[in-house]
Structure 1
């Protein structure tokens, strides 16, 4: 049986959030994950309208008891969101939630009259590699160095561009890497399991910091451990966590974010609406990953780049394959993705600089690309057997183990994003441009590189230090 990365990761996320019953949506598809039995509304009158409407609808239309409708914690934060319990979270299985579906349906008429969304599922927001990984990290020799290679130029803290990376934290030995000498921020914390194996996605934020530092040496990089819990957080918490991250150091020039979720809609996430409204009034440029579902469905917050009122404040980034000529098989795409950067088999820092660290692969590779591409993509190569894919099979426990000793190859729109952020920061330094949003506009306007993604020619941001490599085209079996 072929691996099922999204469903394997769903189980992994559920284990990381044992007290939050989760469902796949819609209807067991691989589009998003959400909390069962709960919907979100804006604080105040809208929350009261949602609660009253859902109670009436449940009592009169569904036969469910109106007593099931309960408002969540009255605690309010800057996100301005209220949790409303609309059903028993323990009811049913992971293939959708009837109570939540009824609640969304009950508010359709009110939303149509109001001209905006009043209610939402409580989606799980995760690292852009988490719910559907581009691949897992692969050890790289220290002698190979990074790819992109470090650009020329030094670091001057007084003139450096401020880049905030909202991700998971830095690995304990990151300071041993000269490239990361000027990086600061939060440590990840627990990095290994009881057997000493590196936990899944540890080093994600460190890898991203290394890419920014390589492309743009004159940057003040801060990494915040905002997404430490297996890279997953509920939508109603995510907006506040973004506020917390910027509050600690002030609004940066560039905010690099490699996390998000689809939600089946084209108007954003209710849980981050307040943060996005405040971002719009700042000078910060949000550079956000487009996601790894090989889908045209909007992936938020990156897809805010496709909304006119946020287009100046957000750059959404998809991933190119190793030759830079076409999109990577896993990359999301569509008119809401505004630029593409190398995102397949990049090389950056991870961990193991002070002592080798073992890692057990979680997902098995596929015999053929799960998105039906014909080049030797990360779905298939390098081949390995993973714990999650083999759970409950006769080969259970035979996952492949590797050792990390510093540098690592890794793929995903998660990593195309800091490459793009670094190019904007480098442009700001070179052109003495103090406005990241203006720099983004000028960089894209002057960029002459293009790639082909799903038949469309798209802007390609290719840093000078990036070393492309040819791809191997596979011949489909007869």
Structure 2
């Protein structure tokens, strides 16, 4: 059976969040995930107005009971959103949610008059699915150096740039790698299953920290495990987790975020509105992954880089393929993606330094690139069979052993490369303003690459080694 990655990952995340019934959207498609039976609104008077409007709309619908329209706590939080339950989450199937769709329609006219959105789905923000990463990790021998290799820059505790990574937590043996000597933060909650097999996406945050440290050795890196739960969190909780992460150690110079979601809109995520407003007033630069849907549809929070008022505070990052000349097949693209960096088959820190750790592949590779490319992309190379891709379990999934390093692909990893280059520029030029460093770096150091026929700004670390791409005939 051909892989159906979105559906496979939907099942994985639903198992990790069993108390939250999920649906796919927008209606009758599979572009994002959201909580069934619930919508988000801003706290306060707007929430009360929306609730009254939705209640009146549903009164005229014979198949919905008014009692279904009730608040679903927590009612308020720092992110400034309220969840309102508009239907029974047990009704219907995962392909659509009529109650949520009706609630969105009920306020459309009022939104037009108000000039802003008043209600939204409660999306799942994630590193998984087609968001990030773009494939599953591949073991790399310890004898093979990281790629990008560690830059020859001494660590200076007096001027080290502060980088905050919001992701999954650090693997237990990360300190066995000298590259992460100046990294600290949250531990990964549960690395392996009862059989000692590595869980999917464990090591994602560790891998990212290794890339930042390689590109910019004079950094103090903190990893917050805000996405430890299968790399996914509801939008209603995401803003709060972002606030908690920066509150724990103060606003950093650079915030590296390799997670997000599309939502079918061009005006951002309701659940992070308050955080993004506060970010704008800080000096922190948010470097965010553009996502791996092979699409021009905005992916949030990265796409804030294209909204008025956030041009300086957000840098959205797409992925170059392994030769650095073109975009990777999976990368999102479009005018809202402001820069591209190497993001295919990078080598960094994972786990297994103290003792080898087994991993069983979850997804099979494809017979042909799912985005129509003809080079040896991560869609189909290296070949492996995954446990989730065959309903009949007619083939045994492939298993590998990790012994420290891994090769991995995604805009998840192009993002810390770009974040590291901003930090390295700050160190080299004694620049204390990360947003100024971003402007200077793109003005003076950016080359170009081709993405979907367009010439785009590209950042390539001096220690990164390009790898020539393989040309494969379709189906090979």
- TM-score range (shorter-chain normalised) is over 0.9
* Cα deviation digits, residues 99-132 of structure 1 (max 9, x gap): 0000000000110111000000000000166656
1:5/1:133 contact within 8 Å kept:
no
Pairwise mapping of residues 184-223 of structure 1 onto structure 2 (< 5 A)?
184-223=184-223
2:361/2:385 contact within 8 Å kept:
yes
Aligned equivalents of 2:302, 2:75: Cα separation in 1 = 28
1:10/1:131 contact within 8 Å kept:
no
Q: Secondary structure at the match of 1:305?
A: helix
Q: Secondary structure at the match of 1:418?
A: helix
Alpha-carbon distance, 1:74 to partner: 4.8
Aligned equivalents of 1:465, 1:232: Cα separation in 2 = 32
1:216/1:426 contact within 8 Å kept:
yes
1:21/1:89 contact within 8 Å kept:
yes
Alpha-carbon distance, 1:461 to partner: 0.5
Distance verdict in 2 for CA 1:66–1:477, change over 3 Å? closer
2:423/2:434 contact within 8 Å kept:
yes
**Aligned counterpart, 1:47:** 47
Aligned equivalents of 1:342, 1:296: Cα separation in 2 = 19
Alpha-carbon distance, 1:476 to partner: 3.4
1:128/1:413 contact within 8 Å kept:
no
Distance verdict in 2 for CA 1:448–1:18, change over 3 Å? closer
Unaligned runs of 5+ in 2: none
**Aligned counterpart, 1:408:** 406
Pairwise mapping of residues 155-234 of structure 1 onto structure 2 (< 5 A)?
155-234=155-234
Aligned equivalents of 2:129, 2:450: Cα separation in 1 = 22
**Aligned counterpart, 1:444:** 442
**Aligned counterpart, 1:422:** 420
**Aligned counterpart, 1:377:** 377
Structure 1 runs, 4 residues or longer, greater than 4 Å off: 128-133
Alignment partner of 1:363 is 2:371: no
Aligned equivalents of 2:446, 2:342: Cα separation in 1 = 16
* Cα deviation digits, residues 9-32 of structure 1 (max 9, x gap): 011011011111100001342310
Q: Secondary structure at the match of 1:188?
A: coil
Pairwise mapping of residues 67-466 of structure 1 onto structure 2 (< 5 A)?
67-127=67-127, 133-395=133-395, 398-466=396-464
Aligned pairs, number:
476
2:132/2:411 contact within 8 Å kept:
no
Distance verdict in 2 for CA 1:132–1:227, change over 3 Å? closer
Alpha-carbon distance, 1:172 to partner: 0.3
Q: Secondary structure at the match of 1:125?
A: strand
* Cα deviation digits, residues 18-74 of structure 1 (max 9, x gap): 111100001342310000000000001110011100000011245522221001215
Aligned equivalents of 1:184, 1:394: Cα separation in 2 = 43
1:369/1:377 contact within 8 Å kept:
yes
1:87/1:99 contact within 8 Å kept:
yes
Q: Secondary structure at the match of 2:442?
A: helix
Q: TM-score, with normalisation over the residues of structure 1? A: 0.98
2:449/2:456 contact within 8 Å kept:
yes
Aligned equivalents of 2:271, 2:85: Cα separation in 1 = 16
2:132/2:412 contact within 8 Å kept:
no
Aligned equivalents of 1:281, 1:266: Cα separation in 2 = 22
Q: Which shows bigger deviation, 80-89 or 443-452?
A: 443-452
1:128/1:258 contact within 8 Å kept:
no
Alpha-carbon distance, 1:394 to partner: 2.5
Alpha-carbon distance, 1:385 to partner: 0.6
* Cα deviation digits, residues 363-399 of structure 1 (max 9, x gap): 000111011110000000100010111243433xx11
Q: CA RMSD in A?
A: 1.3
* Cα deviation digits, residues 294-330 of structure 1 (max 9, x gap): 0110000000001021111000000000000000011
Aligned equivalents of 1:7, 1:100: Cα separation in 2 = 20
Q: TM-score, with normalisation over the residues of structure 2? A: 0.98
1:168/1:224 contact within 8 Å kept:
yes
**Aligned counterpart, 1:475:** 473
Aligned equivalents of 2:16, 2:138: Cα separation in 1 = 24
Alpha-carbon distance, 1:2 to partner: 1.1
Aligned equivalents of 2:356, 2:475: Cα separation in 1 = 40
Alpha-carbon distance, 1:474 to partner: 1.8
2:254/2:284 contact within 8 Å kept:
yes
Aligned equivalents of 2:284, 2:48: Cα separation in 1 = 34
Q: Secondary structure at the match of 1:409?
A: strand
Unaligned runs of 5+ in 1: none
Aligned equivalents of 2:407, 2:237: Cα separation in 1 = 31
2:132/2:410 contact within 8 Å kept:
no
